[in-house]
Amino acid sequence: MPEKIKIFDNEAAKILSVKRLVELYRDMGVSRIYYKLLSPNDNSKNQPYLAGQLTDLAFLPTGKIEETETSSNKQKYDEFTKRSVKYLVEIDFSWLSAMGDVYPAPDAKIIYYPQYPEARLSGFVSKTLFDNGGWMDPAKKGRSEGRVLFLGVKDKGKSGEIFAYLATPETRVAKEILEHPSIQMSGVFNELSASGQMDKRTTREVLIEELARIHKKEWIGSKRLDAAGNEKTYKAQNGGGYTLEAELGVIPNGIAEPDFMGWEIKQFGVSKCHLINSKSLTVMTPEPDGGYYHEQGAEAFVRKYGYSVEEKPGRYDFTGRHFANDVCVKSGMMLQTIGFDSTTGTITDASGSIALIDENGNPASVWTFTKIMEHWKRKHAKAAYVPSLSTSAEGQCRSYNYCNNIRLFTGTSFIKLLKAFNDQHVYYDPGINIKNADTKPVTKRRSQFRIKSSELINLYDEQEDVDVLKND
């Protein structure tokens, strides 16, 4: 077997500059580059710490999430209860050399421990076809300070690949990055500044200034950005979010929720700007992955549990607001959080779920924790909610006027979401139906979880009401 190449201990790695590293990433189609200054505990044994919550990693593309439970009783009780429930998160992870060569890491994954909480990188050097020089081995040089881990995300074409580069101490990259312009994405990761210019303003200040500018423009015609960043007229009725993102220069992608300097931007329509508390907002729209709905299909579900619409022959609907632990009068069903202890705020069963239970105690629709977690992981730890007004003339696209009174939220977690379900802040509000049921059935699927705008704080740690004009 030929000797493995040392990709971190060669002349190319020593002299590589940040500018050249960015060029290597750009040549590969990488659009965003993040980095972390590694601590002595960031190695293959201790697993590099990535975040406290998966929502702190909304900027990283991830795949399927699988539940797993530890069965060992050798740990102390408190440690066992924390580590017994964990989730494995798929990632498409490879290493990049200073020469631009790519080495896949097939066993790489993120491990999420919700009870701590923490998310760690695992398996990142297992089965790799290169010699890492012991820089991730705690028995060798894996505790060295001055190491820097870069993660380049390739989101073009919905690929979701992550390319890692390790800068070792005393290399040019490791020294230059300390003075390089960047944006703080979390308490752990920074993003290289796209402009390459240092901006002393915080991301919050930049966001508020941009929203003030947009508010002053008053009515803005509906539009969106294409993949190349070009503005296109948007004719559909749901253009409020796309128009705001276009004004902010945010290009939608299929890997994670679009964001502006680490802030998730959420627009919602109101009839008057001061009615910011009046709106019911959609939190997410995941299809069930268990229960009768999943096993037999949406059409069979509506035929069994729905109701006919007298004024519309051949039409069957399944609707109604379903809150945890209360029977919905319209459907006779109850929403339940299974495998979650609301008193202690802990997950007691990794394979738990949000379940819609029928009158006979049978699971009609089930959303496993892993299914919900995959959707919730896309939520950023920082979010801006912007109310807007809209108008349209006959035969023309809508126009939007973004209000000056906004709300900023920081800090969220999967545990907070489960508690919000259990405390009836988040509810299930389906709009599922069948048309032409007796001839050529057409089924509409809309399984949505919603929350009142006044209760959003229950999904976050902190809320801040801001008048963008007063911060102008």
| CATH code, domain with 163 | 2.40.330
Whether residue 218 lies inside any domain: the answer is: yes
Whether 459 and 416 have beta carbons less than 8 Å apart is answered as yes
- Of 171, 192, 213, which one is at a domain's C-terminal end? 192
Please check whether residues 245 and 121 belong to one and the same domain: no
Whether residue 467 lies inside any domain: the answer is: yes
Whether residue 61 lies inside any domain: the answer is: yes
Whether residue 199 lies inside any domain: the answer is: no
Whether 136 and 142 have beta carbons less than 8 Å apart is answered as yes
- Of 148, 171, 192, which one is at a domain's C-terminal end? 192
Whether residue 70 lies inside any domain: the answer is: yes
d(C-alpha 288, C-alpha 30), whole Å: 33
* CATH number of domain containing 316: 3.30.70.3570
pLDDT at 369: 97
Q: What is the pLDDT along the chain (472 residues), one digit of tens a residue?
A: 567 889 999 999 999 999 999 999 999 999 899 999 999 999 999 999 999 999 999 999 999 999 987 654 444 435 545 557 999 999 999 999 999 999 999 999 999 999 999 999 999 999 999 999 999 999 999 999 999 999 999 875 456 899 999 999 999 999 999 999 898 888 899 999 766 666 678 899 999 999 999 999 999 999 999 988 899 999 888 899 999 999 999 887 666 667 898 899 999 999 999 999 989 999 999 999 999 999 999 999 999 999 998 888 899 999 999 999 999 999 999 999 999 999 999 999 999 999 999 999 999 999 999 999 999 998 889 999 999 999 987 667 899 999 999 999 999 999 999 999 999 999 999 999 999 999 999 999 999 999 999 999 999 999 999 999 986 6
- Of 192, 216, 243, which one is at a domain's C-terminal end? 192
pLDDT at 155: 72
Of 48, 19, 32, the C-alpha closest to 149 is: 48
d(C-alpha 22, C-alpha 457), whole Å: 38
Please check whether residues 245 and 178 belong to one and the same domain: no
Whether residue 5 lies inside any domain: the answer is: no
CB-based burial label for 229 (10 Å; 0-12, 13-18, 19+): exposed
pLDDT at 230: 93
Of 214, 176, 172, the C-alpha closest to 196 is: 176
pLDDT at 80: 47
| Beta strand segments in 249-395, E | 259-260, 263-269, 280-284, 307-308, 316-318, 334-338, 340-341, 346-347, 353-357, 363-368, 382-391
pLDDT at 82: 55
Please check whether residues 320 and 172 belong to one and the same domain: no
Q: Which two tokens stand for residue 205?
A: 């200040």
Please check whether residues 149 and 298 belong to one and the same domain: no
Please check whether residues 138 and 243 belong to one and the same domain: no
Please check whether residues 61 and 151 belong to one and the same domain: yes
Please check whether residues 80 and 167 belong to one and the same domain: yes
Please check whether residues 242 and 180 belong to one and the same domain: no
Q: Which two tokens stand for residue 231?
A: 């503005």
> For 416, phi and psi rounded to 5 degrees?
-60, -40
Whether residue 3 lies inside any domain: the answer is: no
Please check whether residues 173 and 274 belong to one and the same domain: no
pLDDT at 256: 64
A 10 A CB-CB count for 472 gives 13
Please check whether residues 149 and 33 belong to one and the same domain: yes
Q: Is the pTM of this model over 0.85?
A: yes
Query: In terms of residue numbers, what domain contains 236?
Result: 204-472
Please check whether residues 336 and 394 belong to one and the same domain: yes
Of 242, 257, 234, 285, the C-alpha closest to 386 is: 242
Please check whether residues 39 and 138 belong to one and the same domain: yes
Of 238, 210, 211, the C-alpha closest to 223 is: 238
**How many domains in the chain?**
2
Whether residue 19 lies inside any domain: the answer is: yes
pLDDT at 178: 93
Whether 54 and 373 have beta carbons less than 8 Å apart is answered as yes
